[in-house]
Structure 1
Amino acid sequence: MANIITAFSKPEDAKSIKGILARNGYESAFICTSGAQVLSAAEDLDSGIVVCGFRFEDMIYEELRQMLPSAFDMLMIASPAKWSGQKREGIVYLPMPLKVHDLLCTMEMMVQARRRLRRRERSQPRQRSSKEQAQIDQAKALLMERNGMTEAEAHRYIQKCSMDNGTSLTETAQMIISLM
């Protein structure tokens, strides 16, 4: 389930939107009335969606979007007069007066997009730091020298040990280095 931060300058607006979302299966993690509160709440979450209005007591939505981590998307609800009409990265706009059906469909679209992005990120292999790669290379060199393995055999051996022990390649390489 997506982490949702509901943020409007008027607390009653935030509670109203939170209620609509909650009745339809979207649990709001935080209710905020200022941009600073939103940023503080975002620090506690790894990613999510900020449902907000145009203006807060301390900033407007554009400033908030610039300060939010990239793992957050924004659904801005405001009158058409407030929206400049420009497409902005990470911001979806819904006009007032708000239709509940539009809100729910837009939320579902944003949640699905966030899931697809997370799935795509998880499917890509994690990039190792140069230090981690150096440890793996050192472990392979030790195995090649002491056990007469080829580089491919040493790499396969480290991979198999890693899978058997449920550890990362780097942790397995560190164990091999410390044992030898």
Structure 2
Amino acid sequence: MKPLVLAASARKDQDSLLRELFPVSRYEPCVLVSSAASARQLLASRNFSLVVIFTPLADEYGIRTAAQIASSFDMDVLLFVPADKFDQAAYTVRETSVFVLSLPVNRQTAWQAVSVVEKARTQIRQIQRQLIRSRDKYKELQVVSRCKLLLMENYRWSEEKAHRYIEKTAMDHSTSKVMVARILLDKMQARA
């Protein structure tokens, strides 16, 4: 599935830049709105890969909206602002995933910004997946450790013997240690 981009601009002269940055060969056709309110409404109902905002918008300037979208929807935002507003915009969105570019912008710089945003999002997703795997592994270790503790307590086994018992039972039944630990915990808790 191709990425979908939401573009917010009160001016219609950004169409050619958007077509160059997000060609239909790689992206779904951009969804274009003119106001922050319309952008928020669409974000609530559809999944977008990226939001592009050209300030000022029809109903507000757009800098704070960019920051709100980035934090509320966990989404990258590419914000185009006039050169005289660049410092203010960069300062306002400094702690968010909003990338600020000043207008006028050359096509090469804009394309590089899109590339950086996409790369950053890919790396963030990889790190999030690693964190989820690590958290799951930690939870499994907690279950096995808890089971070992109860085996040591209930049967007066050493930690080594409890560990070997869980490991051998897992091998004998072609299952994981955490599955064995859960079953043993259920049995020990049922007896208690």
TM-score range (shorter-chain normalised) is 0.5 to 0.7
Q: Which residue of 2 aligns with 1:108?
A: 115
Corresponding position of 2:83: 80
Letter in 1 for 2:135: R
Task: Give me the TM-score of the superposition, normalised by structure 1.
Answer: 0.64
How far is 1:117 from its partner? 1.1
- State how far apart, in whole Å, the 2-side matches of 1:57 and 1:134 are: 54
Which protein is bigger by CA-based radius of gyration?
2
What is aligned with 1:92?
Answer: 99
Name 1:19's counterpart in structure 2: 19
2:135 match: 126
Larger helix percent: 2
Q: Distance in 1 between matches of 2:182 and 2:41?
A: 38
| Structure 2: unaligned runs, 5 residues or longer | none
Partner Cα separation in structure 2 for residue 91 and residue 69 of structure 1: 6
In the superposition, the TM-score normalised over structure 2's length comes to 0.61
Q: Does structure 2 conserve the Cα–Cα contact (< 8 Å) formed by 1:9 and 1:57?
A: yes
Partners of 2:159 and 2:98 lie apart in 1 by 52
Alignment RMSD: 4.3
- Gaps in structure 1 of 5+ consecutive residues: none
Native 8 Å contact 2:4 2:30 kept in 1 = yes
- What SS does structure 1 have at the residue aligned with 2:118? helix
CA distance in structure 1 between the partners assigned to 2:111 and 2:121 by the alignment: 15
Q: Return the letter of the residue paired with 1:37.
A: S
